[in-house]
A = this chain, B = another copy of it.
Amino acid sequence: MNVNDHPTRTIRPLPNGAVEIIDQTLLPHRLQWRTLMTLTDACEAIVVMRVRGAPLIGATAAYGMALATRADASDAGLAQASAALIATRPTAVNLRWAVERMQAVLLPLPVAQRAATAWTEAARICDEDVACNAAIGQHGLALFQKWARPGQPLRVMTHCNAGWLATVDWGTALAPVYAAQAIGMPLFVWASETRPRNQGASLTAWELREQGIDHAVIADNAAGLLMRRGEVDVVIVGADRVAANGDVANKVGTYLKALAAHDNGIPFYVAVPGPTIDWRIPDAAHIPIEERDAVEVTHIPGALDDALHTVRLTPAGCAAVNPAFDITPARLVTGIITECGVAPPGRLADLYPNPA
């Protein structure tokens, strides 16, 4: 997608063998690239959420393995790197998927060949993510055309950021938005701010503005009223992990939007590339929910006079509880959009006759 009107990916290898990412903790206030030189750099970027979004976490983990091979490409070194990366965040399954794929490719090779192959394989994972998301965009576009009202902009609600910034390119939930824009379909996006980390207000709003898509930010609390008023045509979100039965783990608050969509007869779609589906687990009861620091609830960063500051919202020392994800049961999901097509959650396996 475009940054300052220039096509850009969110993660890119550098000629010196390092990897460059956008430090998303500084958006929307500053666009700043950051260089990852080591496995430790990659782990840190995932833990503090300089990169986030299940597909981009997977891509960063793949490059983290590549960076690790240059320090120690032995079996023990790869095992250690894998463990360190997988420990960074528990919910998004793309992380584990990417690490296991890198292991599967590298471990059979002679140690001396591993570094070069790791680099190639990480780039391949990124290219595949871009291709998956482009395909999601086209499948989602067909749905958008079905739900559009003649002569009116399609009003899409999304949660968190499942856009370009959550992936290597295009996004998952926002890929159909960009595909629709490409054919001149009028669109309006409701971006819910997504407390506590405000990825909607910061990342989605920034990204949509860069791409020239009409949008407005709302408090997460406003989603139900807007749906009741008939101001939302379709809801589309990404996911951090989808269970085999179609249960969805996604950013906390997704479940509330799914309930409101269901209560108001509004279609609710989940857009994910194949690696976000965890075929090993039958349902969401088996998905670990990451608990993050209470300070993300009690304090919030923002811009003040062009500087970034963090202010406290609660009384000093106030207790807070901060689960980062929630579970949307399959019964509330109209359809899951993947690179292979669209299926109701209970028929997800139909899209993957031969799952890896």
Q: Which residues 204-226 of A have a CB within 8 angstroms of B?
A: 205-206, 209, 215-226
Q: Chain A interface mostly helix, strand, loop or mixed?
A: mixed
CB <8 Å contact, B311 and A228: no
User: Do A314 and B202 contact each other (CB < 8 Å), given the known contacts A217-B297, A218-B322, A253-B219?
Assistant: yes
A193–B201 CA distance with the chains assembled, in angstroms: 17
Chain B nearest CB from A3 CB (Å) reads 13
CB <8 Å contact, A301 and B311: yes
Interface code A251-288, partner B: CB below 8 Å = 1, 0 otherwise? 11101100110010000000000000000000000000
Q: Which residues 303-356 of A have a CB within 8 angstroms of B?
A: 303-304, 309-316, 318-323, 325-327
Which residue of B is nearest A217, CB measured?
A: B320
How many interface residues does A have (CB within 8 Å)? 60
A32–B156 CA distance with the chains assembled, in angstroms: 43
Decide if A302 is an interface residue (CB 8 Å cutoff).
yes
CB <8 Å contact, A313 and B198: yes
CB <8 Å contact, A256 and B315: no
Interface residue from B228, B315, B319 paired with A216 (Cβ < 8 Å)? B319
Which residue of B is nearest A257, CB measured?
A: B256
Interface residues of A (CB under 8 A from B): 28-29, 190, 193-196, 198, 201-202, 205-206, 209, 215-226, 228, 251-253, 255-256, 259-260, 263, 289, 297-304, 309-316, 318-323, 325-327
Chain B nearest CB from A231 CB (Å) reads 9
A279–B220 CA distance with the chains assembled, in angstroms: 31
A348–B240 CA distance with the chains assembled, in angstroms: 44
CB <8 Å contact, A302 and B300: yes
Task: For A228, list chain B residues within 8 Å (CB).
Answer: 255, 326-327
CB <8 Å contact, B313 and A206: no
Task: For A314, list chain B residues within 8 Å (CB).
Answer: 28, 193, 201-202, 205, 217
Interface residue from B209, B260, B327 paired with A318 (Cβ < 8 Å)? B209
A194–B259 CA distance with the chains assembled, in angstroms: 19
CB <8 Å contact, A225 and B313: no
CB <8 Å contact, A217 and B252: no
User: Do A193 and B321 contact each other (CB < 8 Å), given the known contacts A219-B297, A327-B225?
Assistant: no
CB <8 Å contact, A311 and B302: yes
Chain B nearest CB from A242 CB (Å) reads 17
